[in-house]
Structures are given as C-alpha cells and as structure tokens.
Amino acid sequence: MQSLKSASLIRRSLRISPFKSSYRSLTSLSTNALSNDSDDIVLVEGKACSRTAILNRPPVLNALNTAVGARLQKLYKSWEDNPDIGFVMLKGSGRAFCAGGDIVSLYHLINEGNIEACKDFCRTVYGFIYQLGTYLKPHVALLNGITMGGGGGVSIPGTFRVATNKTVFATPETLIGFHPDAGASFYLSHLPGYLGEYLALTGGKLNGVEMIGCGLATHYSLSARLPLLEEQLGKLVTDDPSVIETSLGTYSDVVYPDSTSVLHRIETLDKCFSHDTVEEIIDSLESEAAKSHDDWCASTLKKLKYASPLSLKVSLRSIREGRYQTFDQCLVREYRMSLQGMSKQISNDFCEGVRARMVDKDLAPKFQISVSKPQWNPPILEQVSTDMVDQYFSPLSECEPDLELPTKQREAFT
C-alpha cells in the first residue's frame, strides 16, 4: 500500500475541496448519562483493508456523549496505527447519522451543578473532531439521515462525505440558545459567499443535493444504493484516496438543487447576510421582503426572530472569526464559548432553550407570553451588549485552562 506519509499529503491536497462549490444536532432526546461506557454505543465492522465505526444510539438519533467520543478516539487511534488498515468509514444506525450532542444529558448535568462533566464532554468530543480533521488515513462518512450540529463535526473534517436522499443537515443551535460548535465555525465560514452565516443564524436545513451543491458533501448516492457502495468499498485493498474516490464515484449520482433551494437565492442571501451586525441583516431582509414579497425572506425572518438574540450575535461573530482562523484555533475558541454557554454566567438561554424544545417540548421558553415570539434573556437584540458578547469569547475564569489539542504531533489545517 501507499505510504501513510504520501496518503497524508494527498489527503491534505483534497482538504480544500469540501469548501469549493460544485455549480461539520443538538437535538438529542436522551436522558442517559453522558458517561455511559458500553462498547455497544459504537459498533465495528471489519473488512479486508478497512474498518467501519457505527454510531449505535438510534433511540436518541445517535447523539454524541462523552463515552461515544472516547470510544471513537480509541478506535481511530488503533486503526491509524495499524498498517493493515488503509481507510476508515463512519455511519449511523437507524434513521440518523448523528443528531449532534446529547444536550438533554448536558441540561441535567448543568442543573445538577456538574459543570466538570460538561467540560469533559466538550474536551472529548472536540478532541475526536480534531483527530478526524488531522487523520492520516482516508475517511468516508455516510450521511444517510439526520446530520445536525455535532453530526457535522464528526464527518465534515474527514476526506469524503456521502449524502443521500435521506440526508437532512442543519446547525440549529441558535434555536436552543447556543452557538454552532464542534468545528462549525470553521467549515461554515468556508462555504460559498455568506451561506455559512445564514445556516449558523437561522438553523436552516439543507438536503443531500444542497450539501453537494455547496461543498459540504463530496458525493451523492440514493439511500437504496448504499449497500452496493459499501460492498464495493469493502473489497478495496488501498490507502489511496484517489482509488476510494473512484469507487465512490461509481455509485454516485449527478444531482442539481431544485428551484426552491436556498442555493438559487444566493445573491439575495449574500446581500442580506454580508452585513456587519444581526440588526443590519434583519433590516436588509425586511427591506427585501417588502420589495419582493418573497416567502423565503419571510420564513428567514421568522427563524431569526425565534432564535436567542444573544446566540445570534455570538454566532455571527464566531463565523466571522472562523473565516480567518485555523481549524484548531476554531475548536479552542468554540470550547471557551461552549463552557460560557453552559455556565449560566452570562445567560440561561441554553438551558431554557433545551428545556423548552427537548425536555418540556412546549416550543416556548418559560414564562412565555406568545408562542410565536419566545422571550430569551436578554429578550431583544438591543439589550445584548458588546460586553456580553465579549465575555462569551473569554475563559470562564483567569485560571480556566483552554482546550489542549496535540497540534505539535498532528498538524492542523487552514
């Protein structure tokens, strides 16, 4: 087989492709502990020259917890060190690839005052995401179903992402009072135009065809053809990304977004989401809606007005900073932001958003007056101060350590 060094160089040359246009949720239902350590949560399939990790928590849409992250780290390290394994695959059980972080378990831990367990979750999952983003062997993620929040984080940094007709992608964190994390500020900020800002702020969904169109996915295949694709990949004896890409292409389809796709509104989207502030973005959308009477503008405004005002401002700044940072720098910053969001030092929006949408499922935060316009803390954009946003990007305390990543051993990419 080709040497790992050569494979790594080819892999890095392919790294740019995810962010070139061809024209990485937080919606877990779990009440299980984040530290569930059963090996059954990630199953393994072995082939002649490859290994497949299978996220196996279908009742909670394969949500990530600390144990899942730790098992993935262990498996991927052993496979990377094994010269008989040429490439690695990742898929999910049931109707989801991965719906993101196990936010219900995080919610309970926060309310119990166990912030240390929350830190351990972030360190472990972010650590695996960095491991994947710097992996020395080709990686194939099969995104056959729900792929939200952290589900993007454990797939998009890899070499290949196969979307299907069942794929639903989103980063819906602002709708629960959080921010797109798990590397999202890196990969969203590298999408064409200002699509990343749109996805980060609104939580808008993309289907598999749209993921191909904007570069989030590298291949598209009908779900029914995936068994044939997996069978073909299982026969390969290679660590050469180009050989794997050829096999993926054999079962891939050429597809184009339909007329209703947001990708056909990229000119309007760029015009509105290129502004410096959330307030200016909303003003621009309102102006466009008044002139064009476009339903897309109206629905986008509705999403923005439902989201947490603090999360909107924090997420916009995160995407803008991510555009000029390396992958590891984004993860380190997102770690700070996530701890701030969970600590309640600035706002209780994260816990309130999870309670409303996932725990009590009333779709309206506590003491809600109108279901159509939830009240957050702060309740309106004008009350979100610059100091509040700045604090979100700072360590929890002067003695709080940042996320440590093995950047000297594993080269990050830009």
Contact 211, 167 (CB under 8 A): yes
User: Using CA atoms, how far apart are residues 79 and 323, in angstroms rounded to an integer?
Assistant: 32
**Residue 253's CB: how many other CB atoms inside 10 A?**
14
User: Which one of the listed residues 102, 127, 158, 173 is annotated catalytic?
Assistant: 173
270 tagged catalytic: no
User: Which one of the listed residues 145, 150, 183, 203 is annotated catalytic?
Assistant: 150
User: Using CA atoms, how far apart are residues 156 and 281, in angstroms rounded to an integer?
Assistant: 27
Tokens 């603090």 map to which residue?
Answer: 310
Side chain identity at residue 213, one-letter code: G
The pair of three-digit structure tokens given for residue 292, joined into one six-digit string: 């064009």
Contact 62, 96 (CB under 8 A): yes
User: Using CA atoms, how far apart are residues 45 and 54, in angstroms rounded to an integer?
Assistant: 8
The gap from C-alpha 347 to its chain's centroid, in whole angstroms, comes to: 23
181 tagged catalytic: yes
User: Using CA atoms, how far apart are residues 348 and 110, in angstroms rounded to an integer?
Assistant: 10
User: Using CA atoms, how far apart are residues 336 and 318, in angstroms rounded to an integer?
Assistant: 11
Q: What are phi and psi of 92, to 5 degrees?
A: -120, 155
Give me the pLDDT at residue 39, please. 80
231 tagged catalytic: no
Helices 278-292 and 195-202, interaxial angle, to 10°? Answer: 100
Predicted TM-score (pTM) of the model is: 0.89
101 tagged catalytic: yes
Give me the pLDDT at residue 179, please. 98
pLDDT per residue rounded down to tens, the chain (414 residues): 543 333 333 333 334 333 333 323 343 334 344 555 578 999 999 998 999 999 999 999 999 999 999 999 999 999 999 999 999 999 999 999 999 999 999 999 999 999 999 999 999 999 999 999 999 999 999 999 999 999 999 999 999 999 999 999 999 999 999 999 999 999 999 999 999 999 999 999 999 999 999 999 999 999 999 999 999 999 999 999 999 999 999 999 889 999 999 999 999 999 999 999 999 999 999 999 999 988 999 999 999 999 999 999 999 999 999 999 999 999 999 999 999 999 999 999 999 999 888 888 755 555 443 343 446 999 999 999 999 999 999 988 888 899 999 998 887 666
E strands of 144-205, at which residues?
Answer: 146-148, 160-163, 168-170
User: Which one of the listed residues 127, 133, 181, 322 is annotated catalytic?
Assistant: 181
Spell out the alpha helix ranges (H) of 26-83. Answer: 66-81
User: Which one of the listed residues 101, 153, 158, 215 is annotated catalytic?
Assistant: 101
User: Using CA atoms, how far apart are residues 409 and 266, in angstroms rounded to an integer?
Assistant: 40
- Rg of the chain (C-alpha set): 20
**Of 31, 18, 161, nearest in space to 98 by CA:** 161
Give me the pLDDT at residue 360, please. 82
Contact 108, 58 (CB under 8 A): no
